[in-house]
Amino acid sequence: MRSVMLSLLIVAVVWLCCPGTGLAVTLEEQAQLLASELRCPVCQNLSVGDSPSEMANQMRELVREKLKNGENPEQIRAYFVSRYGEWILLAPKRQGFNWVAWLLPFGAILGGVGVIGFVVRRSVSRSRAPGDAQLPPLDPRYASRLQAELKEWGQ
């Protein structure tokens, strides 16, 4: 149980601390990655990278142009935020109240795992220990009859 929780925690920390932009090498890869982080303003829940709309196409071109001009991904993100607000980012920035959105799913998963573990452990411990002490003492009349029956079956 603890190892599962620890693994989940490690995955969460790695995921939260290492944004993927650093993995992009070429300018085109960086442009695609940045476009995938931006919300298409004229679409329903599509990124600039995924949208076939003209505006998204123009935004992709602008991202490429800015990268060619030597701007780094952080500057380009900041440019779009300065024009559209944080709304333009598909994933909220990892700061302030936004941390709730980032951490809540992991909290829910950990809570769920905890509840499942608690329920499973309780049911296992119940089935392992039938709890002799909890049962009422056997009536001596039935005890002697049981013994007799058992002897009979044994023969």
Partner 1 sequence: MATWKKLIVPIAITPILLLLAYGFKTNPREVPSPLVGNSAPPFALSSFDGGTTGLEQLRGTAIVLNFWASWCFPACFEEAPALEAAWRAYKDRGVVVLGVDIQDREADAKAFIERFKLSFPNGPDPHGKISIDYGVYGVPETFFIDRGGKIHYKHVGALTKEILKAKIEEML
Q: Using CB under 8 A, which of 45, 82, 95, 125 touches partner 1? A: 82
Residue 140 in the binding site for partner 1 (CB under 8 A): no
- Closest by alpha carbon to 63, among 93, 28, 97? 28
Among residues 28, 50, 61, 139, the one that binds partner 1 under rule CB under 8 A: 61
The stretch among 9-17, 76-84, 120-128, 140-148 that binds partner 1 (CB under 8 A) is 76-84
* Look-up of token digits 């936004």: 98
Is residue 98 within 8 Å of residue 92, measured between CB atoms?
Answer: yes
Closest CA to 39 of 95, 97, 84, 102: 84
If one asks whether residue 15 binds partner 1 (CB under 8 A), the answer comes out as no
Sign of the Cα pseudo-torsion (83, 84, 89, 90, in order): negative
24 near partner 1 (CB under 8 A): no
Which range, of 6-14, 15-23, 83-91, 143-151, touches partner 1 by CB under 8 A? 83-91
Q: Report if residue 42 touches partner 1, rule: CB under 8 A.
A: yes
